[in-house]
Chain A
Amino acid sequence: MTCLAEIRRCLAMIALLAMSCSIASAADIGQIKTAKGEVSLERKGQSMPARVGMRLETADVLKTGPDGSVGITMADNSLLSAGANSILSLDRFDYDPTTNQGRFDTQLQKGTLSVISGRMAKQSPDAMTVRTPSAILGVRGTEFVLSAND
């Protein structure tokens, strides 16, 4: 009996170690899955061409040109995609995958955006917001589209 408890504790330790590894590799919050035409990714003041497969980080900004579009999948299974002449900033993405709790705030500064919300919005109705320059959208686990004109 004590032996079993000991083994369980040991396994728990291993799992905890593994957990810290997984979280380290999941520092990225999402990934670019589709990209067409002119798309750039701005990170810490640097701008680079966005390519399919690129990992995303909090505070990244995606910009599409007149012929551009981009689609991303977030760590909580949220799917976002922007059409032409759009600016989308990933302002905040705090996600605890064990509890599905967290916070996801994005802003569509201009352009068009399609949203399919993910595991966080499903877990708690106030976890996800999408802003435009004039409005705040509270997402109650759903699919929608929005535009912001400049």
Chain B
Amino acid sequence: MKEKIRVASGQGFWGDLQTAPLDQVSKGPIDYIMMDFLAEVTMSIMQKQKKRNPELGYARDLVHLVEQILPICLEKNIKIITNGGGVNPEGCRNEIFKWAHKKGIKGLKIGTVLGDDILSRIEDFTRRGIRLNNMETGQPIEQVGHKILSANVYFGARPIVDALRQGAQIVITGRTTDTALTYAPMIHEFGWSWNDWDKLAVGVVAGHILECGGQATGGNFSADWKSVPDLAHIGFPIAEAYPTGEIILTKHENTGGMVTVQTISEQLLYEIGDPGNYITPECIADFTTIKLEQVGKERVRLSGVKGAPATDMYKVSMSYSDGYTAVSTLTYAWPDALEKAKKADEILRSRLSDLGLQFDEIRTEFLGLDSCHGPIAEMPDVVNEVVLRIGVRSHDHSAVERFGKEIAPLILTGPPGVTGFAGGRPKPSEVIAYWPALIPKDAVRPQVVVQEA
């Protein structure tokens, strides 16, 4: 057994800092690198890609990043764990194998985790009495049945551990909990029992800290952002884990950013509900038992975490089509910048009304003034400029499209001192709404396949 393993955060989301994975594998010793690509609505985008081309449906960026880091990973025996497989982990794997073959890389083992995609099984489940009703609102699945774009079960660490045990050097999953990407290696390397709730819970916490990359190491730092060294070259977090369940949160020495109790605390509070019940497929972690101590420069010790048995349900992330939106902006300069922007808004709304266009919502905000803090904002004495931001939402695509044609005319037929229309006519964008549900664990099973190039 290794005396410790270092799991590095490589990507916190699809679109994250592209240089981070290469930095992580080259600026210091690590054993695993995790990369998270899936936000809530990402699967629906990938389903559309797969529909157009059956070989797609995974995060293309993932393949580029793997190409960059794989030679070093093979040299240093660093394993890659990612959910960038989307709705086509096999397609992703095949693309990487193709590239590896071109590079003369032999014997590469890639594991895929499938079974999370239940889009084609929803009707069957409903017939069997497994109802995927909205777990937050209680709405019945029939309300959105025909509009569902994606449906994926959140598997946890088990299938990833399975793939690692079969010798996979890269594990590509579909929907998995972000945290599992980090703690699966710990379970695999240290042989933690699936009943050791406290150890599983500390792994989950480490996963929560790593899952947003630089946001734990000084990025988006509220306490004292000016004190964060060299944000341009921020080092993403690394969880240095020990068999006992002790974990040190750190980063590579020759990188920017910082790791302090404060930076870690802020990330702990990001996107959590009831802290005493952080539910994952493997366990329930109690964030109110977390102990953080600064034990060295850029080293914070994580300990004391208590866990409880997992539930007998998996969470299901579903998305459905729910209308269209379009948003546009115009910039108004002094004098009377705000008054002019308000007048432009009034004129626009009047014209939309005259056109008989129906919208579920029209929203106006004034960027640079109070779009962030609303009534809590303090008005400045002088408004040098303000951005009028106006958006509409409707199930009627043509109405949203028609709205787009009403922005440019305001420049020549509205208040003066206006600019900032270089972006062109705003196009309707599809609303992909989120539908979370629960499914009994025994109704779905992950399938793990490890293939060698």
Chains A and B belong together in one complex: no
